[in-house]
Amino acid sequence: MALDLRARPNSLPWPPIVLAAALALGFALERVAPWGALLPDWAASVGYAIAALGLALDVWAMATMTQARTNILPNRGADRLVTSGPFAISRNPIYLGNTLLTFGVGLAARAPWLLPLAVVAALLVERLAIRREEAHLDAKFGAAWKAYAATTPRWLGLARRR
Question: What fold does the segment set 44-71+78-162 form as a domain?
Answer: Four Helix Bundle (Hemerythrin (Met), subunit A) (1.20.120)
10 Å CB burial of residue 44 (0-12, 13-18, 19+) is middle
CA distance 126 to 141: 20
Residues 130, 53: contact at Cβ < 8 Å? no
CA distance 78 to 72: 8
Q: What is the pTM of this model?
A: 0.91
CB atoms within 10 A of CB 111: 23
62 three-class SS: helix
Digits of tens for pLDDT over the chain (162 positions)? 455 656 666 778 899 999 999 999 999 999 999 998 889 999 999 999 999 999 999 999 999 999 999 989 888 889 999 999 999 999 999 999 999 999 999 999 999 999 999 999 999 999 999 999 999 999 999 999 999 999 999 998 765 655
